[in-house]
Structure 1
Amino acid sequence: MSFGDPNNPYGQQPQQGGQPGYGYPQQQPGVPQQPGVPPQPGYGYPQQPGQPYGAVPPQAPGTLQANNGYINVAGLGTVQVATMGRRLGARLIDAVAIGVLYFILSAIGVAGVFGLAKSADDCGDYMDPGYQSCIDDAAGGIIATFFGMMLIFFLVTLLYEWLMIAFAGATLGKMALGLKVVKENTGQVPGVGGGFIRWIIPIVGAFLCYIGMILVYLSPFFDNSGKLQGWHDRAAGTLVIKK
């Protein structure tokens, strides 16, 4: 009776040629490796130098994680997408801030109109030689004041929404609720061009009895990518995130 190798009590034949195990490149038996052709990968993630065993490779920027509200943004890492509740709250705060400013400007404009109307009362009798000229001046002043106030309202809205988003990435409402608008591909603030595109699209929608503007602001609900990008965000290439 012969005894085998004491280190191999079960009589198993040793593997020839160092058969690779789990997670290593596999090669078909008897098929020579072609020069210049990399070996086929085995199971599991390929390990990078210095990467812990079993670690998942980092996700590329712009990759939305599994329906948990987080996304990888270049230059920022993993950040949380702003919820629609916070965005609506920020929009309401902005509406109040702009409303207060409009009220102050309107009070100034109304005071100017009343002053011009009073000056029309002082034009004297309609039979006076300068009466018609005085009335025309007062009426012209009232019309100029009205259109001037409309222009000021437009510029206030433009500068508030456009420039604050362009250079700070947030309006007062977004700052109050910890939100920021960033470029999806860089993580930086939108800049002048991105801020203007993001501002002008809702404004154009407002010409349709404000229905278009409302749809633009509600459009993140229609985004099935999970990024909650509105139509204005997609056009400008921006995301609204939580800081």
Structure 2
Amino acid sequence: MSYPPDPNNPYGQQPPQQPGYGYPQQAPPPAGYGYPQQGQPQQPYGYPQQVPPQANYGYPQPPGTIQANNGYINIANVGTVRLATMGQRFLARLLDSLVTSVIVGIALFGGLAGVIGLADKTRQDCTGYDFASQAWSDCMDQNTQQDTNIGLAFFGLIAIVAVFGLLYEWLLVGLAGATIGKMAMGLRVVREADGQNPGVGGGFIRFIIPMVGYMVCGIGMLLVYLSPFFDNSGKLQGWQDRAAGTLVIKK
């Protein structure tokens, strides 16, 4: 049988409970939770503080970065530029072909006309000599020499034309960054690394690879010029551009 505790009996009373005794003590709420703490900047309740955006957010991009395959690329020392389309490059190549054809045609026509005219003046008529005479033999030898000179002059003109084609594409692209056709279309060939002209070495590489393709296989040059269609990087680099480290851009 139990009795209620006597309020006057100090031994029968339970000791008062201290804060946290018998119950798990709750950790104080973190600073800034629910209400701002004194001495600390106030932040919006329930939302993280946003960092202010930086100027030109997302720029500059690393060199060589294609921007969403939209035809633009970032080049060191140049900035964001537009890549030349295949249609623009084709028209520039067509203009270059017309320019070189006109120049080569004038050179060949003028050179051959001069050589043949000089040969006709010096060529002798051997019909008046006796067939068995020494004079007839000397006349024929001289005419044969003239024919040989005409042949050598013809091959010399071919060599001059080849050198012109080499210097036209090689030096103009290497030193100026563009041929006459590319200048007319507002195109320029630059190094992908720094945006400068390809230089003598880069221009020679861009020229010689199509020539090797032409000599090795009849359609090799055509494949080289069409190779930008096979570039999956979006930079429209042909095999000659990859070897030289160049890009064709629209100024």
TM-score between the two structures when normalised by the length of structure 1: 0.77
1:234 and 2:242 equivalent? yes
Q: What amino acid is the match of 2:30?
A: Q
The answer as to 2:177 corresponding to 1:169 is yes
SS of the residue 1:78 aligns to: strand
What residue is the counterpart of 2:220 in the other structure? Answer: 212
Inter-partner Cα distance in structure 2 for 1:185 and 1:154: 31
The Cα of 1:217 is off from its aligned counterpart by 0.5
Paired with 1:118 and 1:23, the residues of 2 have a C-alpha distance of 95
Residue among 146, 150, 153 paired with 1:142: 150
What is the letter of the counterpart of residue 175 of structure 1? M
**Equivalences for 1:187-198 in 2 at 5 Å?**
187-198=195-206
Deviations 1:183-229 (A, max 9, x none): 00010000000000000001111114541111100110111111000
1:78 maps to 2:80: yes
Over the aligned positions, Cα root-mean-square deviation in angstroms equals 2.6
Matches within 5 A, 1:15-26: 16-17=30-31, 22=48
1:130–1:72: structure 2 CA closer, same or farther, 3 Å change rule?
A: same
Find the counterpart in structure 2 of residue 157 from structure 1: 165
Gaps of 5+ in 1: 1-12, 25-43
Equivalent pair of 2:124/2:139 in contact (CA under 8 Å): no
Closer, same or farther in 2 for the Cα pair 1:134/1:186, shift >3 Å? same
Show the counterpart of 2:97.
95
> Whose radius of gyration is greater, 1 or 2?
2
C-alpha deviation, 1:122, in angstroms = 1.8
**8 A contact 1:63–1:71 mirrored in 2:** yes
Q: 1:15 to 1:132 in 2, by over 3 A?
A: farther
Q: CA deviation at 1:79?
A: 0.2
Question: 8 Å contact 1:116–1:142 — kept in the other structure?
Answer: no
For 1:40, the equivalent position in structure 2 comes to none
Say whether residues 1:67 and 2:69 are aligned partners: yes
Q: Does the aligned pair in 2 maintain the 1:112–1:145 contact within 8 Å?
A: no
1:131, CA displacement in angstroms?
Answer: 1.4
Q: Secondary structure at the match of 2:248?
A: strand
Q: Name structure 2 gaps, 5 residues minimum.
A: 1-26, 34-42
Q: Name 1:112's counterpart in structure 2.
A: 114
Shift of 1:58: 2.2
Identity over aligned residues, as a percent?
A: 54
Aligned length: 207
Moved over 4 A (4+): 17-24
Give the aligned partner of residue 13 of structure 2: none
- Using structure 2 for the length normalisation, give the TM-score: 0.75
In structure 2, give the amino acid aligned to 1:68.
N
Alpha-carbon displacement from aligned partner over 1:68-117 (angstroms, at most 9, x marks no partner): 00000011000000000000000000000000001101112321342255
Question: How far apart, CA to CA, are the structure 1 residues paired with 2:89 and 2:184?
Answer: 11
